[in-house]
Structure 1
Amino acid sequence: MKIGITCYPTYGGSGVVATELGIELAARGHQVHFITSSQPFRLTGREANIHFHEVSVSTYPLFEYPPYDLALATRMAEVADFYSLDLLHVHYAIPHSVSALLASQMIEAHTQLSRRRKLPFITTLHGTDITLVGLDPSYLPITRFAIERSDGVTAISSHLAERTREAFGVVSEIEVIRNFVNCDVYVRKPELVAEMRPRFAAPDEHLFVHLSNFRPVKRVTDVIEVFARVAHALPARLMLIGDGPDRSVAEQLALRYNVQDRIHFLGKQDAVHELLPLADLMIMPSQMESFGLAALEAMACRVPAIATRVGGVPELIDDQVNGLLFELGDVDAMAEAAISLLKAPDRLQAMSQAARHTAQERFCTTRIIPLYESYYQRVLDRVK
């Protein structure tokens, strides 16, 4: 197939999933065209069967805000026409699904002249495009319209699919295709761990990790709260991977608890698959997670997560089996559980093995990518 993919190319779950999906599809022989404002950060530019098409926006003085959605629609239509794309797959509803709808209509109008077939588009919902942005009264009607006019809609968890039906009154099909991880890339390699872990923790120290974009919904301050309690009871260190608006708040809180010298603020990192296996536990105390991709990537590396029982997280983490779930904001319970687990190495080892097993058996690319391929074909068959 020839597939056009649009996503936000910066750090964030939806962009990561879309980029990794494109990489996996290209590896399976499909021709993938990324149509985005800049090259997605996980692309090297050397992947076979992958093409990048930049969306440029004119800065005309009349426009207070550049009309990116219109420029995107135009570029989508141009790429689809020139490369004879079979379909568009857009990630994050706002504004990508609206742009795809416009592009599809442009192609359809052109079809009447050139007798080319319709260009279908699929929208994948990732979370805040529904639970936050989409529910804004300014965007709710257009979000609902774009979802309803999509030729196919997928959601990354059953929770998100149900939330979309409730919030938008959507009655059409929403296919649940959960997030995935490449289990050959996200894997614990003992020799690499032996080489890299001493940079972040001494042999007698436990190592925690948190990975996010440091937005308020990720509650990075709760990460510091949990870690500070653990660090005052056990020798421990923390790797914070990512960056964002709450970084300075986290730094100030670390100073207040006097644990700043035990925390590594690593900023944005490309090779997170090399860092995650170094940790003993992940802390993911989010206010909302439609799935919990960071936890899945850690689990594939044999790192269980201490997480909140929100959104689609329980669809990934089986409490007390491959990770631990807690109520939102219960940092005391999270810290106590972490200390107890670290003091029971056999239990930690069993949980680490279960985390890896869950990733392999339920969420590896070999299991999820064929679901997308099958869904693409179903959509194509419907619009013939």
Structure 2
Amino acid sequence: MNILQALFFPPEQPGGVSSMVPYIGERFRKIGWEIELFSIPKRIRNKGQEPFEFDTFDWRLYAGNPVVDKYMQTLKDYVWWTKLRLKSGYDLIHAHHPVAALALRKIYPDTPLVMTVHSSFERELILNGRIAADGPEHRFLTSLYGELEAKTDKMLTVSHSFAGYMGAYMKSPERIGVIPNGYDERRFKPISHDNEVAQIVTVCRLVPAKGIDLLIKACAELRKRDRKFVLHIIGDGPIRPELESLAQAQGIYDDTIFYGYMLHPEEMLPFFDIFVLPSRAEAFGSVFAEAALCLLSLIGTDVGGIAEQIEDGVNGLLVPGEDPQALADAIDKFILDPHYRYELARAAWNKAKKTYSLSRVIQELKKIYIDLGPPVEETT
């Protein structure tokens, strides 16, 4: 079978999609399937001029708002780039971003189309203070779920929590399939180490939605308790200067290392002890599974897909959102009891190996592809 895996930006961009989709292609190629990876370069801007319309709503009701206008131009740019670069047909298209799905449906109207929604752009924009809840941009972006439902042959997402969120904007939410992300275990190599001082790490884009301000405040509370730690912040983003200033104001700047963007953070993760990400919203939270496969103990907020990965007190600790004190208490438990944090890390590692295996994802996707695509000769 000849399948196009369509992303938005190239796979070297950080995030759960990039840490999984290229490896999906690699596995399918090993069983003799043809897999092509496609995305739009960041430099492509304002090239598309072909009009773009939706079947389920009129986007012009929201025109004039910057987020909406930019989204529509991006759709046109994706269509322009696709027509420029893709010539051959495909047995099936699997899109991993709404822009990719809607643009490719316009160009390949008769090709089976699978869409995996990996995250909520509108929730991220609201949490990052860029749009208002229930405003025109929010209504436009949530209307896209109904359009995707109408235009795709199969809708997938990465957690039951997010399926419930999407379903509120769809006619038949029961048709949404859930396939949690999977990871190639060969990329993750736990390393035996004994850190005298607890090494706390987080990996994310530095935006308000990720809650790193809460982590810094929690670590300031740990400093008041005279706990010893080093906080490692891997990632970059628009609020990095604010977070550095906050670390200084909270008196923990000397205990904090800002690394900036890193292409393969999994190479460093095994040397740390405690992974923390107090997200304000998360469709899945791929980095938790990655940290678990590196044998780190996990602490996250009780939101979205994080709560489906972590069972509090069994394979990690969950804390309420917007509560730096509770977050500090959770980290303190792991600092004071290395044996406890190791036991929970081991449980998280076992669950991640079983539940977030890339082999599981391949088998589930293979069934969907075979059901939707042309007949294929069975291979092992």
Verify same fold: TM over 0.5.
yes
After TM superposition, list the pairs within 5 Å mapping 1:122-137 onto structure 2. Answer: 122-129=114-121, 131=123, 136-137=138-139
Which consecutive residues of structure 1, in runs of 5 or more, have no partner in the other structure? 40-53, 106-117, 195-202
Task: Please name the residue that 1:222 is paired with.
Answer: 214
Task: Please name the residue that 2:362 is paired with.
Answer: 369
Which residue identity does 1:127 align to in structure 2? Answer: S
Q: Does 1:283 align with 2:276?
A: yes
Q: Does 1:98 align with 2:102?
A: yes
Could you tell me the TM-score, scaled by structure 2's length? 0.81
Q: 1:129 to 1:19 in 2, by over 3 A?
A: farther
* 1:139, distance to aligned residue in structure 2 (A): 3.4
Task: Please name the residue that 1:115 is paired with.
Answer: none
* 1:142, distance to aligned residue in structure 2 (A): 4.0
Contact 1:7 1:36 in 2 (8 A): yes
Q: Tell me how far apart the structure 1 counterparts of residues 256 and 23 of structure 2 sit (CA, whole Å).
A: 29
Task: Please name the residue that 2:35 is paired with.
Answer: 32
Contact 1:14 1:92 in 2 (8 A): no
Task: Please name the residue that 1:69 is paired with.
Answer: 75
Task: Please name the residue that 2:329 is paired with.
Answer: 336
Q: Tell me how far apart the structure 2 counterparts of residues 350 and 28 of structure 1 sit (CA, whole Å).
A: 37
Contact 2:122 2:141 in 1 (8 A): no
The root-mean-square deviation of aligned C-alpha atoms, in Å, is 2.7
Task: Please name the residue that 2:133 is paired with.
Answer: none
Task: Please name the residue that 1:4 is paired with.
Answer: 4
> Which of 349, 364, 369 in structure 1 is aligned with 2:342?
349
SS of residue matched to 1:13:
coil
Task: Please name the residue that 1:138 is paired with.
Answer: 140
> Which of 201, 206, 209 in structure 2 is aligned with 1:209?
201
**Which has the larger displacement, 159-168 or 353-362?**
159-168
Task: Please name the residue that 1:58 is paired with.
Answer: 47
Q: Tell me how far apart the structure 1 counterparts of residues 340 and 111 of structure 2 sit (CA, whole Å).
A: 52
> Which of 303, 313, 333 in structure 2 is aligned with 1:310?
303
Q: 1:59 to 1:177 in 2, by over 3 A?
A: closer
Which residue identity does 2:47 align to in structure 1? Answer: S
Which consecutive residues of structure 2, in runs of 5 or more, have no partner in the other structure? 50-68, 126-135, 376-380
Q: Tell me how far apart the structure 2 counterparts of residues 284 and 77 of structure 1 sit (CA, whole Å).
A: 40
Which residue identity does 1:161 align to in structure 2? Answer: A
Q: 1:142 to 1:293 in 2, by over 3 A?
A: closer
Residues 337-365 of structure 1 show CA distances to partners (whole Å, capped at 9, x for unaligned) of: 22122222221221111111011111111
* 1:56, distance to aligned residue in structure 2 (A): 7.8
* 1:230, distance to aligned residue in structure 2 (A): 2.5
* 1:136, distance to aligned residue in structure 2 (A): 1.6
Q: 1:239 to 1:359 in 2, by over 3 A?
A: same
Which residue identity does 2:232 align to in structure 1? Answer: M
Which residue identity does 2:149 align to in structure 1? Answer: I
Q: 1:69 to 1:354 in 2, by over 3 A?
A: same
Q: 1:28 to 1:255 in 2, by over 3 A?
A: farther
Which residue identity does 2:76 align to in structure 1? Answer: L
Residues 227-264 of structure 1 show CA distances to partners (whole Å, capped at 9, x for unaligned) of: 22224422210111111122111101110122112111
Which residue identity does 2:25 align to in structure 1? Answer: G
Q: Does 1:320 align with 2:313?
A: yes
Identity, in percent, stands at 22
Which residue identity does 1:73 align to in structure 2? Answer: V
SS of residue matched to 2:284:
coil
Q: Tell me how far apart the structure 2 counterparts of residues 182 and 67 of structure 1 sit (CA, whole Å).
A: 35
Could you tell me the TM-score, scaled by structure 1's length? 0.81
* 1:172, distance to aligned residue in structure 2 (A): 5.9
* 1:57, distance to aligned residue in structure 2 (A): 5.8
Contact 1:98 1:146 in 2 (8 A): yes
Task: Please name the residue that 2:57 is paired with.
Answer: none
**Which has the larger displacement, 143-152 or 174-183?**
143-152
Q: Which structure is higher in RCO with an 8 Å CA cutoff and minimum separation 6?
A: 2
